[in-house]
Structure 1
């Protein structure tokens, strides 16, 4: 179901109004919008700027700086692969290439069937258990090609 722009704006304004009084409210507002919609609607960015009395450029800069914010809905599953140095030294690049090939998408892409979104992440805190990944908030350590194939099959169901 596609939300009408006015419905998005009303819900976004409610979130912004609820959080704008906090100290340093921009990040909490962006987090709450993503929790509410599954992404941060672009039409909410000027509303945030107006409510916080900051420029649209500043809101856009913060929004685009952080990799976790999305400007479109994610798939039913989100697979994040660690791209940090410790995982890279343990073969994460080959796994990243395999994941993109198995799913048929590049970073930040969602499969055509809407099943899975593939995202890079720059450390999951499992450096001693790399390469690591996260599937729908669950961390996976010591990821190998076989486990990756199982994950790709599982998320496509």
Structure 2
């Protein structure tokens, strides 16, 4: 998958986001979130724009972006399936659930199916510990998952 945006337009759109959010206290994370919302990921071409505006090095911006699992440096699939990898979910069968999803999709974490339908990502706690194991499909949280329920989620995402 590629981003169909001209480099100049990408720079202008990134700059508009920076201009709108630069007045916030600690604006880097909100800016990265908005850039990802705008483009579906944080393009490398956006990093120097952000760095210059915040008086940071490009390496500092890149370091923050890659530290947090929520930011992507490549386009995601049409659907994003996040599987909780935290301790509560692991203790309730999350490891087996994750392996099942990987097998069903034919991909590993941080990968997208060849047809571009699903990106699989690990997430470290969805806050649904009492309903473990849990997953999130396109921002909607699902708990108390078992094999049949995860099969349904994968099937929904593959549509």
Deviates more, 1:125-134 or 1:20-29: 20-29
Counterpart of 1:152 (choices 142, 146, 154) is 154
SS of equivalent residue, structure 2 residue 51: helix
Match of 2:107 in 1: 105
Q: Cα offset for 1:78?
A: 0.7
Match of 1:140 in 2: 142
Which contiguous aligned blocks of 4+ residues in structure 1 show a shift greater than 6 angstroms? none
Match of 2:29 in 1: 27
Q: 1:1-157 alignment to 2 at 5 Å?
A: 2-157=4-159
SS of equivalent residue, structure 2 residue 119: strand
Q: Distance in 1 between matches of 2:23 and 2:54?
A: 9
TM-score (norm 2): 0.95
Aligned length in residues = 157
RMSD, aligned α-carbons: 1.0
TM-score (norm 1): 0.96
SS of equivalent residue, structure 1 residue 146: helix
Q: Which runs of 5+ in 1 are unaligned?
A: none
Q: Which runs of 5+ in 2 are unaligned?
A: none
SS of equivalent residue, structure 1 residue 101: helix
